[in-house]
Structure 1
Amino acid sequence: MKNRVMMQAFEWYLESDSKHFVRLEQLLDELKEAGIDDLWIPPVFKATGTNDVGYGIYDLFDLGEFDQKGSVPTKYGTKEELLSLIEACHQRGMKVYADTVLNHKAGADFKETFKAVLVDSDNREENIGEPHDIEGWTGFNFPGRNDKYSDFKWNFNHFTGVDYDDLSKETGIFRILGENKYWSSNVSHEMGNYDYLMFADVDLKHPDVSAELFRWIEWFVQETKIDGLRFDALKHIDRDFIRDFTSYCQEQFGESFYMVGEYWSSSEAVKAKYLDATDYNVDLFDVGLHFNFYEAALGMENYDLREIFENTLVSTHPTLAVTFVDNHDSQKGQSLQSWVGDWFKPLAYTLILMRDEGYPCVFWGDYYGINQEDGYPASKPWIDKILKARASSAHGQQDDYFDNNNTIGWVRHGDEEHPTKSATLIHNGTEKTSLMMFVGKEQANKEFSDVLSYDDERV
């Protein structure tokens, strides 16, 4: 993905009017001109309703085609509008990655009775009480689709846990019991075992389930011509399944089929282990770098900028890291809220867009703003300036000058196709300072100006 830029083309609080795909298609020329090459679009599958952002997934085979869960379209639009958007992107040389939710299912069509045991929410390996019958929402027969594309019916045998017993009206985490049925061991060990996240937890070790998902991905790619996937909630999903599933995708769709996943951990060591366990088939978002930005914004001038890339994926696996500043999970009001302070955002975007390493992702909420009471204004004007600088002068050899705790910099020396050089300075101090960097003898006596227009002074 050399020098390409991704955009997360949604945020949590978009209007629930089923018109996002239409609006997004109308913006493609503007985005392409600005320097956005690829789009990560929200979950395109039928969820629990049009107010659902898409992670309460109901039917993977309904792309906004069937009258299910109260509407034909999803929150973002109809199947026809989705296909039109993808085709329009391809006409402009833009790639499209679909947010994909395989961990759980929601909005079941009917209840079932089965044996389960309540577990400690803080340690899912510890049972509370004895096994007993519960009623859970685990039956999925998709009556609105009427077996089109797939006649597979889901029942409690295809899940490992639920969060509600309709018999006792009790909320909690209930592990479903059965022969050879338990939480997956190949998941994060937070909470003892972090297989369970929400809703009805899919048993990816069940042979019928894995077979159905392998059939589904063939259908989905053929139906949409999508260019790749963004996997949600990887630390809750069986690693062996992801390894096999991503290998299958590469075999079926070629090495250019792009896959990236969300593994929400700031530990580089944990993610390095995950990459190895999944045969390096899937890139990961650099959560560690995001948290460094978050801490740098809080620390202000007391944060040592020389440590900005410490414990990050981009520093150890630069070709497998998707760098980002904020996303729909970290934005204000969300469960993983860790919003990077406004004053530091221009520095953070410069740190992901002007460097050689990583595949940078621009957040819709930063670019177009978040229309909420505690929202965020559109930052398109200054992000566009950095994108323009990236396109013209973020190429070739990179020399770093990380010598000062409050001021760091680097020089990009250009290449044959893009000979323009750039010198980038990041400063979080309260007083002006200087940093000496070598930009090449041929630049002697030439002046450099600030592309962001923060400083009118030429150097």
Structure 2
Amino acid sequence: MKCIFTTAVAIFFLWGCANDMDVTEQEVQNNNSNTNRAIPQSGGSVSTARSAGTKVMMQAFYWDVPSGGTWWNTVSGKLPSWASAGIDAVWLPPATKAQNGGYSMGYDPFDYFDFGSYNQMGSIETRFGSLAEIQSLISTAHSNDLSVIADIVVNHNSGGSSQSNPYTGGSTWTDFQPASGLFARSYNDFHPNNVHTADAGSFGGFPDLCHDKTYVQDWLYNNSNSIAKYYKNTMGFDGWRFDFVKGFEPWVVKNFKNAVGGFTVGEYWDGNAATLETWANSAEASAFDFACYYKMRDALANNDLTQLNGDMLLKRNAYRAVTFVANHDTDEIYTNKILAYAYILTHEGYPCIFYRDYEEWLDKNKLNNLIWIHNNKALGNTTYLYADNDEYVARRNGSPGIIVYINNSDSWQERWVDTNWASTTIKDFTGNSAWEPVTQADTWVKVQAPPHGYTIWSVK
């Protein structure tokens, strides 16, 4: 997430930065004025088991997508073609009303239950559209067997009114009275409070939710009308992307996921693979593989493909690794970006494609080809065969498996490699090479790759 902070007369402003359980109308006993409010009925399609995590995820937004309430419809129109290409999940931006209303990218959350139906924060719709439009998006996704991943921002809040705060001796912007009537908050629910002064980390000066408070836990995942259960059972979301998880303990993600199930990934922005692994294991969730991202960035920027042999979460625990080449916050792989996609779409982990790369900036046909190879050929564990400044070769050992050959030099390259196929005709499934060599009886074969390109070989 991205943000800038200003004091307001000062308003907080962000640029941008398993169990299935039925929702009921029962009243929830807690210590706030919104105890007995009924759950607003969305009519969204209820989520069922889908394949998120097995194919390829699409990040279905970028920073500052067009405002004006058109984005949900834009995404809806693309869902059938994405599904046909081999996408199995779409990650949406934070979908509820934030402090900056119809201009907000959603990372300054105010009312977790307003999907574009209440007149507050200066608008009825969110930046992305109305409640009816996101309902339609989710329904369309499900009819195309796509999972829908909700972006969950629970480290901080924004848009509260000023109130006297006995824990600070002054006033804080911690009086939240959302129009939905659900999850009202006060200074008791933020740091500092009577439990402790801080948790793992605050963000941008915004009021920092205290996850050790029972009241906060109840509204996040314990109550029958909690965020987790409402999003899953009423709206129909299938999984969760947690924002800025450095700001709170991993058990928060674990408890949320355990309350409703679903694919879960956290944004732990750190290039240390061991740190990512520790967080993922503690949260019992996947993590975005920033270690892989930075290795790819350095490999391509410095003309040193040996970086691709470095430590990454996908090599420590591929089951927990969500790999990516760019996202709404960071896009530092400028040169030969398609080679980075060739890497993540042929290696272990769960690849995520960035909307603008797919729809605007790169060759969609090449990306669709790589998605098909990922879903149909790139199986099994990985053996790393060769790397130098310009060349990188690896083998996936499943059935049928592949040989991927990445060449970042200015000329065609050839190399003998050891395959898993004896006396077998193979071909390049990218179409970049017309060779159809036959592997030797000892499984070795010569393959080639074009300049600043790649080939991916498998049985014909």
TM-score tier by shorter-chain length is 0.7 to 0.9
Aligned to 2:422: 441
Following TM superposition, by how much is the alpha carbon of 1:40 offset from its aligned partner in structure 2, in angstroms? 0.8
Q: What does the per-residue CA deviation read over 1:188-236, in whole Å, with 9 as the maximum and x for residues that have no partner?
A: xxxxxx3444421111112211112123211221111211110000001
Matched, 1:200 2:236: no
User: Is 1:409–1:426's contact at 8 Å kept on the other side of the alignment?
Assistant: yes
Q: Secondary structure at the match of 2:414?
A: coil
Correspondence for 1:237 among 233, 248, 251: 248
1:289 is matched by which residue type in structure 2? C
| Cα distance in structure 2, aligned partners of 1:264 and 1:312 | 13
The residue number in structure 2 matching 1:258 is 263
- Residue 247 of structure 1 corresponds to 258
The alpha carbon displacement at 1:307 in A equals: 3.0
- Once residues 387 and 292 of structure 2 are traced to their aligned partners in structure 1, the CA distance between those partners, rounded to angstroms, is 20
Cα 1:309–1:260 shift into 2, 3 Å: farther
Conserved 8 A contact 1:195-1:236: yes
Q: Distance in 2 between matches of 1:223 and 1:261?
A: 23
Counterpart in 2 of 1:451? 430
C-alpha distance in 1 between matches for 2:334 and 2:398? 32
Where does the alignment leave 5 or more consecutive residues of structure 2 unmatched? 1-51, 437-446, 448-460
Quote the residue 1:427 is aligned against: 407
What amino acid does structure 2 have at the position aligned with 1:314? L
Partner of 2:23: none
Partner of 2:233: 222
Deviation at 1:348, TM superposition (A): 0.7
Which amino acid in 2 is paired with 1:296? A
Aligned to 2:139: 87
* Pairwise CA distance, 1:15: 0.2
Q: Which residue of 2 aligns with 1:181?
A: 196
For 1:443, what is the secondary structure of its paired residue? coil
Q: SS where residue 202 of structure 1 aligns?
A: coil
Classify the secondary structure of the residue corresponding to 2:326.
coil
Q: Compute the RMSD of aligned alpha carbons.
A: 2.2
**Partner residue of 1:69 out of 96, 121, 138:** 121
Q: What corresponds to 1:349 in structure 2?
A: 341
Conservation of the 8 A alpha-carbon contact between 2:241 and 2:264: yes
Q: CA deviation at 1:58?
A: 0.8
* Residue of structure 2 in register with 1:340 after alignment: 333
Q: Are positions 1:155 and 2:207 aligned together?
A: no
**1:419-448: CA deviation from partner (whole Å, max 9, x where unpaired):** 5x643211223444322123422425x5x3
Distance 1:106 1:340, change over 3 A: same
Aligned to 2:301: 298
Distance 1:104 1:204 in 2: 11
CA contact (8 A) 1:283 1:322 kept: yes
Gap change, CA 1:392 and 1:181, over 3 Å in 2? closer
- Where 1:326 maps in the other structure, the secondary structure is coil
Show CA shifts across 1:364-391 (max 9, x none): 121123xxxxxxx344232122123334
Residue aligned with 2:65, SS:
coil
Question: How has the CA–CA distance of structure 1 residues 414 and 269 changed in structure 2, closer, same or farther, with 3 Å as cutoff?
Answer: closer
The match for 1:41 among 64, 67, 92 is: 92
Distance between the aligned counterparts of 1:4 and 1:154, measured in 2? 39
Match of 1:140 among 161, 176, 180: 176
- Measure the CA separation in 1 of the matches of 2:241 and 2:126: 18
**Shift in Å, 1:397:** 6.1
* Residue 239 of structure 1, CA deviation: 2.7
Q: Per the alignment, do residues 73 and 113 of structure 1 end up closer, same or farther by CA in structure 2, a change over 3 Å counting?
A: same
- Deviation string 1:157-201 (CA, Å, 9 cap, x unpaired) is 1111xxxxxxxxxxxxxxx4x4333111xx3xxxxxx34444211
**2:355 aligned with 1:364:** yes
Which residue in 2 is equivalent to 1:401? 385
Q: Is the 8 A contact 1:309 1:315 kept in 2?
A: no
> Which residue does the alignment assign to 1:213?
220
Q: CA deviation at 1:285?
A: 0.4
Q: Can you list the C-alpha shifts for 1:284-340, whole angstroms capped at 9, x where unaligned?
A: 00011111111122202xx1x233142211010110000101100103xxxxxxx11
What's the counterpart of residue 369 of structure 2? Answer: 385
Contact 1:397/1:413 (CA < 8 Å) preserved in 2?
yes
Structure 1 ranges of 4+ moved more than 6 A: none
Q: Match of 1:410, SS?
A: strand
Provide closer, same or farther for how the CA distance between residues 322 and 2 of structure 1 changes in structure 2, counting only shifts above 3 A. Answer: closer
Alpha-carbon displacement from aligned partner over 1:379-430 (angstroms, at most 9, x marks no partner): 4232122123334432356543125443122344663xxx5x6432112234
Question: For 1:283 and 1:396, how far apart are their aligned partners in 2?
Answer: 19
Partner of 1:4: 55
| 2:321 equivalent in structure 1 | 321
Matched AA of 1:387: I
Indicate conservation of the 8 Å contact 2:89/2:146, yes or no: yes
Query: Counterpart of 1:408 in 2: which secondary structure?
Result: strand
Distance 1:424-1:50 versus aligned 2 partners, 3 A rule: same
Residue identity (%)? 27
1:253 aligns with none
Answer yes or no: is 1:310 the counterpart of 2:310.
Answer: yes
Is 1:285 the counterpart of 2:285? The answer is no
Structure 2 counterpart of 1:50: 102
1:7 and 1:400 map into 2 onto residues whose CA distance is 27
